A and B are shown apart, each in its own frame.
Chain A
Amino acid sequence: MKGKPLVSIVSAGLSKFGKREGLYARELFTEAVKEAFDRCPKLTPKSDIKALFVGHMGESYEHQGHTGATMADWAGLLNIPSTRTEAACASSGAALRAGIQAVLSGLCDVVMVGGVEKMTHRSTAEVTEYLAMASDYPFEQWHGITFPGLYALMATAHMHEYGTTEQQLAMVAVKNHYHGSLNPKAHVQKEITLEGAMSSRIIAWPLKLYDCSLITDGASCLILTRPELARRYTDTPVHIIGSGQASDTIGLYERESFTSLAAARIAAKDAYEMAEVEPKNIDCAEVHDCFTIAEIIAYEDLGFCEAGKGGKLAEDGETRLGGRIPVNTSGGLKSKGHPVGATGTGQAYEMYLQLTGNADKRQVKDAEIGLTHNVGGSGATAAVHVYRRD
């Protein structure tokens, strides 16, 4: 068995992702919390859980800040220290990292980490504006560069440098919608065709509507503890054996490369080294496919293939269920949906299901080691975690 456990996940919960009309973020969060508590009857939440870290990107959506305390209150965890972590779309990847640090420091035996975002009641124009806040204001937003625009800049560069095609991008969307069709909690549980994806309207050329992730409401959470205490709560813990988080320039334009995310490469290197595993040891992964090009770049940054070969990896079906390394079995941000604050720990939830053999129709056979890759903004934050079954 590789990799010494840093912490163990003893339970996890995920709300249904989708257009959850009439529900506030705090109410969605309780849905995830309820599942996590029900899965873990040996846990006494009020006395066992010593801290909450919750990822949340935007107070603009609901005119509600102070998310840490709000979620602790509604989770029934009054009086524990509660903290919101914000790192754009990597907000709950950062919450997970903060939770691991809290347990490893010895300060807390058991913590809850999670994330939440309520987005769909806002117009697309408003959501576009809120999401753009994750990019550089004076030089990117000021000049009309949108969030899809930033990833489109990477896509154009990747196509130019490596010959990646628009069709290969669309293949990522088709795959993730197939996976999402097998996930009862996914926002869109419907397969799409390559032709449909290729002919969808242009958002920021070369990216089309079906290259973009969904605007979604949702929440997710995990219960973490010290590995030596895990058996007290469950017979089937999942261990986190590697953790990496890194930053990069806030502006995409200042980076050395537009075809790779340095923060993701650094976070992955740290997580792999800590876990004592190599890319070839990963059985399944959830990666940050906020746009299809982001998944292709993730394959390369995580070492699933060489730089420039990500498009081919998708085309060859290697990352589809049944392939060499299934990626985004949950449907990913593309089909499961992307309630930004909930995404990082939502990815970890899928790993928890896969590594406890509870992923049902989308179960990766004999999955032993998994990985999550959560990116904030155009890559100014990245968090990578490696998991192993007990």
Chain B
Amino acid sequence: MSNQPLPSIEQFYAHVLQGKLLGAKCRKCGKIHLPPRPLCDHCFSNEFEWKEISKKGRLLTYTVIHVAPAQFQSMAPYAVGIVQLEDGIKIPGMIKGVALEKIQIGMELVFDSGTCTATQQWPQWSRYYFKPL
């Protein structure tokens, strides 16, 4: 067992704030977890190392949200999508920097760290997003 703390969602977002996109790679079976998990769901190992993930990806699907939760309503309408990164990992996020009507499935997008805008006690995570290459 290493002395390193097990990978956590909290750490993932701490990395994001530093401008890094890191997944947790299982030392035993090699599966890359993003979101990182403290227990590999493939081989049940709990030994991981952080691995840099490509920030470039392709849009798999999207929607434009008009009716939003209270804290997001001022941004509506806004686009969110699921992006498949070059490593094959899929993550969701907002899509910014492109006109809503220009968004298309298959378009190339890149991950950007965003800033921490949280006003609550915990969690205080960054809101990363995707933008056109």
Contact = CB atoms under 8 A, between A and B. Distances in A.
Contacts of A125: 69-70, 73
Given A138-B125, A156-B105, A254 B66 contact: no
Contacts of B60: 157, 258
B117 to A, nearest CB: 11
A155 B69 CA distance: 20
A145 B65 contact: yes
Contacts of A141: 69
Most buried by B among A124, A154, A156: A156
Contacts of B13: 138
Interface residues of B, number: 32
Contacts, number: 97
A252 B82 contact: yes
Interface string B61-92: 11111111110110101101110000000111
B127 interface: yes
B65 A144 contact: yes
A201 interface: yes
A152 B80 CA distance: 10
A153 interface: yes
A271 B60 CA distance: 32
- Name the prevailing secondary structure of the A interface residues: helix
A152 B63 contact: yes
B63 A128 contact: no
Nearest to B118: A142
B9 interface: yes
B5 interface: no
A382 B116 CA distance: 36
B77 to A, nearest CB: 8
A144 B129 CA distance: 11
Nearest to A258: B61
A149 interface: yes
Most buried by A among B67, B70, B127: B67
Given A138-B9, A144-B75, A258-B82, A156 B92 contact: no
A128 B69 contact: yes
A251 interface: yes
Given A138-B125, A202-B66, A204-B63, A143 B105 contact: no
A124 B123 CA distance: 25
A124 B66 CA distance: 13
Contact of A254 (B73, B90, B94): B90
A204 B66 CA distance: 6
A205 interface: yes
Given A140-B92, A253-B82, A258-B60, A149 B65 contact: yes
B93 interface: yes
B38 interface: no
Interface residues of A, number: 35
Given A202-B66, A258-B60, A258-B61, A144 B125 contact: no
Contact of B69 (A132, A138, A154, A254): A132
A143 B63 CA distance: 13
A253 B64 contact: no
Interface in A133-161: 138-146, 148-149, 152-157, 160
A146 B61 contact: no
B132 interface: no
Interface string A235-270: 000000000000000011110001000000000000
B35 A138 contact: yes
Given A153-B81, A204-B67, A145 B61 contact: no
Given A153-B62, A254-B90, A139 B35 contact: yes
A149 B66 CA distance: 9
Given A139-B92, A144-B80, A204-B67, 14 more contacts: A125-B69, A138-B35, A140-B92, A142-B123, A145-B80, A146-B68, A153-B61, A153-B80, A153-B81, A153-B92, A156-B105, A202-B77, A203-B66, A205-B66
10 contacts: A128-B67, A143-B92, A143-B127, A144-B68, A144-B94, A146-B69, A156-B61, A204-B67, A252-B82, A253-B91
Interface of A: 124-125, 128-129, 132, 138-146, 148-149, 152-157, 160, 201-207, 251-254, 258
Ranked nearest first, the 7 interchain pairs of A and B with the lowest CB-CB distance are A152-B63, A157-B61, A144-B72, A205-B64, A253-B92, A253-B82, A202-B66
